[in-house]
């Protein structure tokens, strides 16, 4: 029986300690620990990697601090719009969803698509119809909205640009040696109505394969899509036999001359080695291997 492992991220940003402040830092650390342990407890009880990554991501979707579910970014039309994906490394089955507005936990909708739909990817109204058919929880628009995100939108509109925000994700290895990955996001602040990023695209923002690795990305979605970062990690591990950490670094920096924007990710190999790479000032992250003490980190130290 293998040692089980879970790693999570709550996004990556260019912010200093002063920008965030001690109270918010403490809140982020508590929230990361809560999400990590929600997934870890499932693995500890012999549960699946898929259930563990869903549980960890759900905690972050329910927390206004993160840009997924409650507290998600506003589009240019003052709406919330969510994307999510999940993949099982054992079966290579995946479920992904884009452009939903009212589903409380988009990651659970992605998992339900994986388990109960003949399709991999559902969007907008059709995805919400599927969620209703499967009795998933819906929330009114007000549930997702926060003053912090509204302020971000107003500021971004003044500057006439879009602003990156924190995608969340998790990767896990269960006691049976199965890998899984999950990613969820509220997208960019002031993004064009209907824009979809890398998060729900299998091989870009999310990928899992028991033989090779599991990956979840955060950062500039357009760049992550164009560089196919998730699959790039997979290819470097599978074909060049690179260690997972080195594969993460190489995948994030490939085509730097052509593709701008930060690429940040967490990954896990079948031996339980964790890879973490980020190009921003910070990455909200945490991991735990078996019964070892867990690590929660934000900055480089």
Q: Out of 156, 167, 185, 199, which one is annotated catalytic?
A: 167
Say if residue 218 carries a ligand binding annotation. yes
Q: Give the CA count within 13 Å in the CB-facing half-sphere of 27.
A: 10
Please confirm, yes or no, whether 167 is among the known catalytic residues.
yes
DSSP state at residue 144: H
Say if residue 69 carries a ligand binding annotation. no
Residues near 257 by beta carbon (within 8 Å), at least 6 away in sequence: none
Say if residue 100 carries a ligand binding annotation. no
How far apart, in whole angstroms, are the C-alpha atoms of residue 145 and residue 152?
A: 12
Say if residue 196 carries a ligand binding annotation. yes
The structure tokens listed for 59 are: 């905690």
Q: How far is CA 108 from the centre of its chain?
A: 13
Say if residue 281 carries a ligand binding annotation. no
Buried/exposed 161-194: b ≥16 CB within 10 Å, e otherwise: ebebbbbbbbbbbbbebbbbbbbbbbbbbbbeee
Nearest to 195 by CA among 170, 155, 239, 162: 162
The structure tokens listed for 211 are: 């033989």
Nearest to 232 by CA among 265, 273, 281, 199: 265
Query: Sheet containing 82-88: which strands, arranged edge to edge?
Result: 121-123, 94-100, 82-88, 179-185, 168-173, 5-13, 282-289, 295-297
The residues annotated as belonging to the active site are: 167
Q: Which residues are annotated as a binding site?
A: 195-198, 218-221
Q: Which residues are annotated as a binding site for substrate?
A: 195-198, 218-221
């Amino acid at each position: 029986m293998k040692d089980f492992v879970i790693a999570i991220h709550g996004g990556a940003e260019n912010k200093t300690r002063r920008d965030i402040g001690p109270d918010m830092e403490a809140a982020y650390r508590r929230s990361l620990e809560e999400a990590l342990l929600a997934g870890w407890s499932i693995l500890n009880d012999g549960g699946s990697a898929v259930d563990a990554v869903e549980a960890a991501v759900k905690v972050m979707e329910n927390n206004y601090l993160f840009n997924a579910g409650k507290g998600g970014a506003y589009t240019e039309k003052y709406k919330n719009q969510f994307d999510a994906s999940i993949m099982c490394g054992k079966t290579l089955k995946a479920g992904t969803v884009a452009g939903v507005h009212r589903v409380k936990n988009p990651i659970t909708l992605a998992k339900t698509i994986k388990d109960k739909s003949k399709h991999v990817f559902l969007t907008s109204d059709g995805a919400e119809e599927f969620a209703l058919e499967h009795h998933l929880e819906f929330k009114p628009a007000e549930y997702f909205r926060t003053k912090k995100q509204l302020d971000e939108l107003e500021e971004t509109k003044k500057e006439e640009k879009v602003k990156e925000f924190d995608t969340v994700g998790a990767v896990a290895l269960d006691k049976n040696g199965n890998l899984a990955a999950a990613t969820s996001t509220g997208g960019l602040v002031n993004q064009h109505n209907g824009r979809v990023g890398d998060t729900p695209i299998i091989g870009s923002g999310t990928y899992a394969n028991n033989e090779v690795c599991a990956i979840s990305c955060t950062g500039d979605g357009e760049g992550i899509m164009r560089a196919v970062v998730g699959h790039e990690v997979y290819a470097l591990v599978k074909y060049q036999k690179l260690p997972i950490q080195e594969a993460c670094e190489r995948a994030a920096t490939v085509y730097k001359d052509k593709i701008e924007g930060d690429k940040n990710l967490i990954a896990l190999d079948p031996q339980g080695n964790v890879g973490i790479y980020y190009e921003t000032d910070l990455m909200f992250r945490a991991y735990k291997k078996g019964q070892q003490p867990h690590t929660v980190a934000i900055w480089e130290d």
